[in-house]
């Protein structure tokens, strides 16, 4: 006897358990995750790096807990206000040049905790 037969013998007819997806618990869990992302308990780390960039300095902001769309919006705002180019991916923003002070000031005004390394 295989497991399918044993299972069918164990639950014949109306005795079979009924599994219905619970939307209330799923919605509550999604809201809790969204609230956790907005709190951002860990500070963002701002550092400069020159490795593998042919001697040119880059400012890296890492530690974001938001999704890629929000990260792109934050990166766009930072690049516009600081006046540099850059990119965003995998929870970090890369800005061209050494602009730690301006970046930290802008992010503090937006409500993020910032740690300059």
Residue 99: the pLDDT is 95
Cross-strand bridge partners of residue 89: 92
Domain harbouring 111, CATH code: 3.30.780.10
CA–CA separation, 82 and 50 (whole Å): 19
- Report how far residue 52's alpha carbon sits from residue 47's, in angstroms, rounded to the nearest whole number: 15
Domain that holds residue 81: 41-117
| Structural domains counted in the chain | 1
The pLDDT assigned to 39 comes to: 58
At 67, which helix (H) or strand (E)? none
CB-CB neighbours of 59 under 10 Å: 24
Residue 35 has a pLDDT of 47
Asked whether residue 116 is assigned to any structural domain, the reply reads: yes
Residue 71 belongs to some domain of the structure? yes
Mean pLDDT, the chain cut into blocks of 10 residues (117 residues total): 72 58 57 53 92 91 91 95 94 94 94 92
pLDDT of 37 reads 46
What stretches of the chain adopt beta strand conformation (E)? 44-49, 58-62, 86-89, 92-96, 114-116
How confident is the model over 51-79, as pLDDT tens digits? 888 889 999 999 998 888 999 999 999 99
């Amino acid at each position: 006897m295989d497991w399918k037969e044993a299972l069918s013998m164990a639950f014949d007819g109306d005795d079979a358990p009924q599994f219905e997806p619970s939307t209330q618990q799923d919605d509550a869990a999604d809201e809790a995750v969204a609230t956790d992302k907005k709190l951002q308990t860990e500070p963002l780390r701002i550092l400069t790096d020159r490795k593998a960039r042919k001697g040119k300095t880059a400012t890296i902001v890492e530690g974001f807990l938001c999704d890629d769309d929000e990260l792109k919006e934050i990166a766009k705002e930072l690049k516009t206000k600081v006046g540099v180019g850059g990119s965003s991916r995998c929870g970090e923003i890369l800005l061209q040049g050494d602009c730690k002070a301006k970046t930290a000031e802008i992010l503090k005004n937006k409500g993020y905790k910032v740690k300059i390394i």
